[in-house]
Structure 1
Amino acid sequence: MSKTSSMGRGIMAVLAVGARSTGGLPGGTVADIAADLGRDRSQVSRSLRTAEQEGFLARGGQRSYTLDWSLLTDAQLLTEQRLQTDGATALERLAGETDEGCFLGVLRGDSTVTIGERVPASSNMVGSWLGRPYPAFCSDAGQALLWEASDAEVRNIFSGVPFVRHGPNTPLDVEDFLSRLHGARARGYSVVDEEAEPGLYSLAVPIRDFKGDVVAALQVVGTKTRLEPRHELCATALVSWGEWLESRLGHAVQKNPTAGQV
């Protein structure tokens, strides 16, 4: 007898329907899903009916089950709301621990745009970056926002984009950017050292949602003379609050005992 709980069986049935959708199939009948899972049809039928009643699945023609996309839409809206509310908390706490300007950015085409910021007066940073686009190939958030993109996707995003020099260390071309992105992934966070402008230094981590998609970048930004000597301390705080924010968006992350508590 299977030790899988009824809830577990239901989740497996929903995931099986989702896998068929990902594979380009319109959905699946009870027989299709039972075959995919290698389980008894009557058991799978009960799981599918329950998932339909709970709003996870919809039933169409030929008795075929498909994902109820309205549920995903609701989840996406909740993610956007939490990115604003919990993002503000993460920025506040991160700025408090690092005493540096902290930002939340998103990707818009080949540019990054700041959607949240917390800048302590002691950081000596002037002006606001809210709503301002900046070229992703050299921005503080660019590498983090393209964290999960394949090399081919990155090349496509920057196709035809001139790599204009904004600082002494601006990437020369897309291959140079990819080399730095690979190094950031191995490190666990990106370091942008005078790429965006002379004297500017920043650290960033990707923020993933419940689907595992990168939806934002959390950043610590300051002058190189001030931030670089405190690199490790700020990186530790950044990674911790990045994980906290991801958990609030429903992304399963390995618990970090040093993560901030709220």
Structure 2
Amino acid sequence: MSKTSSMGRGITAVLAVGTRNAQGLPGGTVANIAADLGKDRSQVSRSLRGAQQEGFLDRTDQRSYTLNWSLFTDAQLLAEQRLQTDGTTALERLANETDEGCFLGVLSGDSTVTIGEKLPPSSSMVGSWLGRPYPAYCSDAGQALLWEASDTEVRTVLAAATFVRHGPNTPVDVEDFLRRLNDARARGYSIVDEEAEPGLYSLAVPIRDFKGDVVAALQVVGPKTRLEPLTDLCAAALILQGKWLESMLGHSPAPK
């Protein structure tokens, strides 16, 4: 038995336990997991014991295997740290490529909050956006951060939002926002064209972590007169740096 095949079987066993947890089950015995995988019980038993010895699984008094959640907590903390450190690198690269203001935002209620920024020397932006909230309904980051949300979830997030007109193209209600979000998904990145304020143009992509959850939005923001003609160029740089940052957070895209 090769090391590679043993490792693969161990990972498969851990994922099988995780699937049972996702279904609301507390875990599974050797017989449960073997049945789920359609594999021989003795082989599955060895894989589960090996995963337990490595610290990925715990075994209860009822001989049921469960996930060792402390490892996932550690992974979550590491991902949050890398979002700050590697996020800074992504912002610097993106600002160098686009020569525009670049930002990293997260969702807080029905607003987005900037947690990272990089302004090139040529930028005319005044002040810092760090820590400042902005309505998600008229933000490119808002679209990106709600990228994976269902329509019902989006309506819930924006239920209490008052759709104040911040620019000539601000969405008028949540249904208008959903139409723009669907357009962004089809395009592969969001565009906010004078929705946040007159003359402002911005692009954003969602950033996913090792669980596949959208945890941040990477943005390029600038004057419409300068940025709109460079949309394709900036979008390509944005997508490239977004994928790099996701890889640093442990995200593995699902095979197509």
TM-score, normalized by length of structure 1?
Answer: 0.94
Asked if 2 retains the 8 angstrom alpha-carbon contact of 1:243 and 1:253, the reply is: no
Q: Residue 160 of structure 2 aligns with which residue?
A: 160
State how 1:240-255 maps to structure 2 within 5 Å: 240-253=240-253
Task: Find the aligned partners of 2:192 and 2:178 in 1 and give their Cα distance.
Answer: 13
Q: Residue 127 of structure 1 aligns with which residue?
A: 127
Task: Find the aligned partners of 2:61 and 2:214 in 1 and give their Cα distance.
Answer: 35
Give the unaligned 5+ runs of structure 2.
none
Q: Residue 75 of structure 2 aligns with which residue?
A: 75
Q: Aligned with 1:221: secondary structure?
A: strand
Q: Residue 174 of structure 2 aligns with which residue?
A: 174
State how 1:1-40 maps to structure 2 within 5 Å: 5-40=5-40
| Aligned-residue RMSD, C-alpha | 1.6
Question: Once the two structures are superposed, what CA deviation does each residue of 1:81-130 show, in whole Å capped at 9, x if it has no partner?
Answer: 11011100000010001000000000011110000000112021111000
C-alpha deviation, 1:230, in angstroms: 1.1
Task: Find the aligned partners of 2:118 and 2:30 in 1 and give their Cα distance.
Answer: 52
Task: Find the aligned partners of 2:37 and 2:67 in 1 and give their Cα distance.
Answer: 17
Question: Once the two structures are superposed, what CA deviation does each residue of 1:179-226 show, in whole Å capped at 9, x if it has no partner?
Answer: 000000000000001111111100000001111110000000001111
Residue type at the aligned position of 1:189: Y
Asked if 2 retains the 8 angstrom alpha-carbon contact of 1:101 and 1:123, the reply is: yes
Residue type at the aligned position of 2:139: S
Question: Once the two structures are superposed, what CA deviation does each residue of 1:156-185 show, in whole Å capped at 9, x if it has no partner?
Answer: 111122111111111010000000000000
Residue type at the aligned position of 1:85: T
Q: Residue 227 of structure 2 aligns with which residue?
A: 227
State how 1:143-158 maps to structure 2 within 5 Å: 143-158=143-158
Question: Once the two structures are superposed, what CA deviation does each residue of 1:38-95 show, in whole Å capped at 9, x if it has no partner?
Answer: 1111111110011011111111131111000101001111101110111000000100
Residue type at the aligned position of 2:113: V
Task: Find the aligned partners of 2:129 and 2:82 in 1 and give their Cα distance.
Answer: 21
Task: Find the aligned partners of 1:12 and 1:229 in 2 and give their Cα distance.
Answer: 48
Residue type at the aligned position of 1:102: C
Residue type at the aligned position of 2:171: P
Asked if 2 retains the 8 angstrom alpha-carbon contact of 1:29 and 1:63, the reply is: yes
Task: Find the aligned partners of 2:253 and 2:67 in 1 and give their Cα distance.
Answer: 25
Task: Find the aligned partners of 2:165 and 2:29 in 1 and give their Cα distance.
Answer: 56
Task: Find the aligned partners of 1:253 and 1:140 in 2 and give their Cα distance.
Answer: 22
Task: Find the aligned partners of 1:110 and 1:29 in 2 and give their Cα distance.
Answer: 42
Structure 1 residue runs of 4 or more that deviate by more than 2 Å after TM superposition:
none
Q: Residue 63 of structure 1 aligns with which residue?
A: 63
